[in-house]
Structure 1
Amino acid sequence: MVLDSALAVIQNYIRAEVTDRFFSVLADETTDRAGREQLAIIFRYATQEEGRWCVREDPVRIVDLLREIKKGEEETEGEVRMTGENIGEAILKKVNELNLSGTSRMVGCGFDGAAAMASQSVGAAAVLKRDNPLCDYYHCAMHALNLCVAACTDQADVRACLTTVKALTTFFNTSAKRAEALQRAVERFCPEQTRSKLVSLCTTRFLERHDAILCMCQLLPAVTKCLDEMKNWYSTETRGKAIQLLSCISTPSFLVALFSLEAITAVVLPVARSLQAKSMDVSTAMEGLKACTRILQSWNEDPDSVFNEVISKTREVAEALDVELRPPRCAGRSQYRANAGECGDAVEYYRVNCFLPLLHSVLRQLQARFGERQQASFKLYGLLPAHMKSWEEVESATKRYTAFLDQPHQLKVEHKVWMNMWKGKAETARPKSAVAALDACPAELLPNINRLLQILAALPVTTAEPERLFSRVTLTETCIRATMSEERLEALCLLQVYRQCPALTVDSVLQQFATSPTQRRLGPIF
């Protein structure tokens, strides 16, 4: 009951903060320890703190999705349909329960790429847009980036390399005896390395995937020596698996694919790290993705310079492992298609058949998922002083939001004034993000530009905040507390998030408890 009162205080605080603000809804799902389908709902909006603008992503609700869908269905028997329509209705219901004044200020929704969430016709995004016409769907940039890198498995050698890396990590990490043997091998053959354990290869998280590849490159000499020693172990299972894995990693195709992956994923790594930052700005995300694409494009135009570094690393490791760098056997006469590359030249063969397909695959995915067509939704990006565009280029985007502007007929003049304010200013002095531009845009002088910048700041970039909230759910709902009610779980998690909330005091919680219907049923406290 006290937890319910504290939760009510938090919700009142969120309502006061978000009211009359432009906001976006972020949502994601996961299954908790009790087997419940938990839906996290986050509000993203721009606000002022201590006189300066900032972007906040505030968790507002944690919902047992199956239970909510059951409430909305007339028949409780049979299958509970987790359709986009039902999920969208559940999200919309929980948002409306906060009694926000003007939910029409919802300008975006950010989900992962699941069809039930993202479909523009029958997904949750379609339900939100039906009631809020300006609420556009934005695919989580972190998920999209992970899908771009996952496309590298289209190449056969890379796919085999990742399978071998996963088998190696499983082989060593699932046995304390084998893990200790690898640790001894690292101390003997790779004493300069700080790691002594292989990192598990995660198929859904890019950062963990790159760490697994990098760790394998660093510990490969120790892994090879350790597997060679295990061939003489007493356990027949260990001996057989060690021989199999040693045969897999002692091939030129594995080594070339491994170091090619290391080179290409290293370019994407800084962008992936930045996208997981709190309250990531749209402009910062787009700039990082553009820079990553430009680097890979330059490699595509001149691949030899990069591939020479890859092949030199491969040769160095191959010599240490006593592996001959040679191409596989090619057909002397190809009846249906020509051999790719020179079969007698190992460097040319692996450049054409391994490195270039990997590079082209990742680059093509980046251009498709973050190209000009996808960036059309961020046309307001042209209002930022560091990326200022002409009126003709931003006019189409501003027309979408004329309903939010007090004097839309003055917008063209305000744009001209806004451009003149930054004319002649150095590049370093021009704000590159929406919140920095808001600090330099006086609402009294340029009210329409100010509002458009608030909308730009509120547009969703990633769904990293719902993922962080799920971490709190896991920490709160331990094995011995897995039977707690949904209301108690929601209150405990939000109390952790808002422990520094200025509105959450002992007096405010007691006041809320004293005026709640629950207290009236219990009678006087004292």
Structure 2
Amino acid sequence: MNIEIDEVVLENAPKNAQYIAPEIQKEILHIMANRVRQMVREEVGDKYFCILVDEARDIPKREQMAIILRFVNNHGILTERFFAIKSVSDTTSMNLKNEISNVLVHHDLHVKKIRGQGYDDASNMRGAWNGLQALFLKDCPYAYYVHCFAHRLQLTLVSAAKDVSVIWEFFSHLDNIVNIVTSSTKCIAELHTAQRNEIEYMLSIGERDSGSGANQIGNLQRAGATRWSSHYDSVKSLIGMYTATCKVFEVLSDYSPNGRVKAEVRGIYRNMASFEFVFILHLMHKIMRTTDTICQILQRKSQDILTAITFVTITKTCLQEFRECGWNEFLQEVKVFCSRNEIDVPDLDCLYKIGRSCRQTTIEHHYHFDVFNAAIDFILMELNTRFNESSVELLSLSTALDPKNSFDSFNSDDICKLAKKFYPGDFTDQEIVALEYELIHYKLDVMQNLKVSTLVELCQQLTESGRSSVYVMLTRLIHLVLTLPVSTATTERAFSAMKHVKTALRNKMEDDFLADCSKMLNQVIVIVEGKLLHADISLSASAGSRRSC
């Protein structure tokens, strides 16, 4: 607690002042929020910044818009700060633009200083003519729009789930399994009992290691509609609890009193215990474990766009290597899993008829080329389509600043071209010449003395070593590139925090409070109107009596 406030304010305040009224508490929170915004505004100063914007509905179904500022602070550290959340009446691009501009102008943040825009792929955001990014580009031609990388990755995996039939069928069956097992407390208790028995048996035969947190009892995870990482959690949880889940289905299929439910459970269990389901379960686990790494990386606050592109390339390479060299090892892993869980493995050399066509092939050929290769190829194709940054000249020129592999991509011509072509308002002709001379010294100084691997680290090292005051033009250009957004994960975190504050109970309390206030106001109006009406009648009566006299 602040000692001055305690001694000066609280000690001298009336003892009956508790400040528990909702209006007083909201006013206090409003003052605190403005103070925080003022501190963020001071941190931004006169530097360039990027806006990250996303929308979501709160508990009472009102559309809320979160605004995040991304900038490089005085210490050379890339920073993302939550700045405001606004309730919007509609989500048209013009209305969103006006609301964002009002927030910026109110805090003396100039739109001309915007050097990046980060949104999702909704039409009102990305529209080339009337979208939000296009409207801001009219006011500031250097506020370049970058579609959220994390959202692109999610769209890639969603497309695979929708357009590859075997993957779509698999996730449909997975949803049914999770729904059945988590449908009642009895099923969950049975799942926990089966897990406990399995863990005890595995420990007794030495196939599990004991230790703190090594053998936890868990539940099957439900896949969410908008968070693709939850699909990975769902797949991972089923692989870890496959035997226990089978025990639950065996109990339900034997003792369920309802015949229709029993038939449904047996059908789902029959599919779950098939070689095809187990094969695709492990395939999706392998693919999503690879993509989950980049999913977590893209959501970091201090991630620069050059490093993000590098990790996308690494992910593509890993998937390609898995496709070309991982078949035999993967198939053996599936066979071992099937043997451990007593699942029949078909003779892979037998002929397999494909659909209604007359074409026949072996079962192994079908799973290898029609399922394994087809699923990976589709995801690689989607990744290449959605992360095709080679055609974006801004980003391709920015790679010349990338310090990875001992500044292997350094190119002074591309760096000068980047400043001249994409940021002409931030560099005069004289400053471009100064940049060229700085790069000569930079090549002999920084590239030999600083050991960094990312642009974020390079920016911080330049500031800490005092070189930012020597390479002024280059530091300015690095700040501009770092300002370009990678993902809108920070806005998602803002909405997650909002759900903790704006709960259904709090909303109901506020609605009840407003309803009570409305009732009281109506009663006051009725009473006042009644008194006025009574006064009018009395006045009319007295006037009539005077006239009769």
TM norm. shorter chain > 0.5: yes
Tell me if the contact between 1:110 and 1:139 (Cα under 8 Å) persists in the aligned partners. Answer: yes
Find the counterpart in structure 2 of residue 37 from structure 1: 63
Find the counterpart in structure 2 of residue 121 from structure 1: 129
Specify which of 399, 404, 408 is matched with residue 381 of structure 1: 399
Find the counterpart in structure 1 of residue 216 from structure 2: 194
How far apart in 1 are the matches of 2:347 and 2:164? 19
How far apart in 1 are the matches of 2:509 and 2:153? 36
How far apart in 1 are the matches of 2:355 and 2:180? 39
Cα offset for 1:220? 1.5
Tell me if the contact between 1:41 and 1:60 (Cα under 8 Å) persists in the aligned partners. Answer: yes
Tell me if the contact between 1:25 and 1:110 (Cα under 8 Å) persists in the aligned partners. Answer: yes
Structure 2 residues not aligned, in runs of 5+ = 1-26, 201-207, 209-214, 512-549
Moved more, 233-242 or 247-256: 233-242
Find the counterpart in structure 1 of residue 476 from structure 2: 451
Cα offset for 1:246? 0.8
Structure with larger RCO (C-alpha < 8 A, sep 6+): 1
Find the counterpart in structure 2 of residue 299 from structure 1: 322
Specify which of 140, 152, 174 is matched with residue 132 of structure 1: 140
1:59 pairs with 2:97 = no
Cα offset for 1:86? 2.3
Find the counterpart in structure 1 of residue 151 from structure 2: 143
Superposition pairs of residues 224-235 of structure 1, within 5 angstroms: 224-235=246-257
The residue identity in structure 2 corresponding to 1:117 is M
The residue identity in structure 1 corresponding to 2:334 is T
Tell me if the contact between 2:338 and 2:344 (Cα under 8 Å) persists in the aligned partners. Answer: yes
Specify which of 16, 24, 32 is matched with residue 42 of structure 2: 16
Moved more, 352-361 or 237-246: 237-246
Superposition pairs of residues 285-434 of structure 1, within 5 angstroms: 285-300=308-323, 302=324, 305-319=325-339, 320-325=341-346, 329-330=352-353, 334=357, 338=359, 342=361, 344=362, 346-373=363-390, 376-378=393-395, 379-386=397-404, 387=407, 388-399=409-420, 400-405=422-427, 407-424=431-448, 429-434=451-456
Find the counterpart in structure 1 of residue 521 from structure 2: none
How far apart in 2 are the matches of 1:130 and 1:195? 56
**Which structure is larger by alpha-carbon Rg, 1 or 2?**
2
Cα offset for 1:128? 1.4
Tell me if the contact between 1:384 and 1:437 (Cα under 8 Å) persists in the aligned partners. Answer: no
How far apart in 2 are the matches of 1:180 and 1:326? 37
Superposition pairs of residues 475-486 of structure 1, within 5 angstroms: 475-482=500-507
Structure 1 residues not aligned, in runs of 5+ = 70-81, 487-526
Cα offset for 1:177? 1.0
Q: 1:274 to 1:298 in 2, by over 3 A?
A: same
Cα offset for 1:268? 1.4
1:349-397: per-residue Cα shift (whole Å, max 9, x none)?
Answer: 1011111011111111222222333664323232133344213333432
1:252 pairs with 2:269 = no
How far apart in 2 are the matches of 1:411 and 1:273? 36
Find the counterpart in structure 2 of residue 176 from structure 1: 185
Specify which of 21, 36, 54 is matched with residue 28 of structure 1: 54
Q: 1:390 to 1:436 in 2, by over 3 A?
A: closer
Specify which of 257, 264, 271 is matched with residue 287 of structure 2: 264
Tell me if the contact between 1:107 and 1:136 (Cα under 8 Å) persists in the aligned partners. Answer: yes
Higher helix share: 2
Cα offset for 1:484? 8.5
Cα offset for 1:456? 1.6
How far apart in 1 are the matches of 2:112 and 2:177? 53
Q: 1:109 to 1:331 in 2, by over 3 A?
A: closer
Q: 1:333 to 1:245 in 2, by over 3 A?
A: closer
Cα offset for 1:19? 2.8
Secondary structure, aligned partner of 2:224: coil
Tell me if the contact between 1:206 and 1:272 (Cα under 8 Å) persists in the aligned partners. Answer: no
Cα offset for 1:216? 1.2
Specify which of 475, 487, 497 is matched with residue 462 of structure 1: 487
How far apart in 2 are the matches of 1:213 and 1:470? 26
Q: 1:484 to 1:246 in 2, by over 3 A?
A: closer
The residue identity in structure 2 corresponding to 1:358 is A
1:4-25: per-residue Cα shift (whole Å, max 9, x none)?
Answer: 3333323322222223111000
How far apart in 2 are the matches of 1:256 and 1:330? 19
Tell me if the contact between 1:252 and 1:326 (Cα under 8 Å) persists in the aligned partners. Answer: no
The residue identity in structure 2 corresponding to 1:385 is P
How far apart in 2 are the matches of 1:375 and 1:220? 45
Q: 1:23 to 1:484 in 2, by over 3 A?
A: farther
1:377-426: per-residue Cα shift (whole Å, max 9, x none)?
Answer: 32323213334421333343222113213622322222232222245568
Find the counterpart in structure 1 of residue 303 from structure 2: 280
Q: 1:253 to 1:322 in 2, by over 3 A?
A: closer
Tell me if the contact between 1:284 and 1:432 (Cα under 8 Å) persists in the aligned partners. Answer: yes
Cα offset for 1:146? 1.3
Moved more, 324-333 or 188-197: 324-333
Q: 1:224 to 1:274 in 2, by over 3 A?
A: same
How far apart in 1 are the matches of 2:381 and 2:37? 44
Cα offset for 1:56? 1.4
Matched positions, count: 457
TM-score with structure 2 setting the length = 0.77
Q: 1:446 to 1:325 in 2, by over 3 A?
A: same
1:204-252: per-residue Cα shift (whole Å, max 9, x none)?
Answer: 2232111111111122222223212211113315422311211221222
Cα offset for 1:165? 0.9
Specify which of 185, 196, 208 is matched with residue 230 of structure 2: 208
Cα offset for 1:59? 1.3
Q: 1:384 to 1:333 in 2, by over 3 A?
A: closer
How far apart in 1 are the matches of 2:28 and 2:235? 49
**What RMSD in Å do the two structures reach over aligned CA positions?**
2.5
1:295-345: per-residue Cα shift (whole Å, max 9, x none)?
Answer: 122234x2xx3122221222223333332325795169946xx55xx2x3x
Q: 1:405 to 1:195 in 2, by over 3 A?
A: farther
Cα offset for 1:124? 1.1
How far apart in 1 are the matches of 2:382 and 2:37? 41
Cα offset for 1:43? 0.4
1:441-479: per-residue Cα shift (whole Å, max 9, x none)?
Answer: 623321110101111221111111111111221111122
Tell me if the contact between 2:181 and 2:248 (Cα under 8 Å) persists in the aligned partners. Answer: no
How far apart in 1 are the matches of 2:507 and 2:47? 37
TM-score with structure 1 setting the length = 0.81
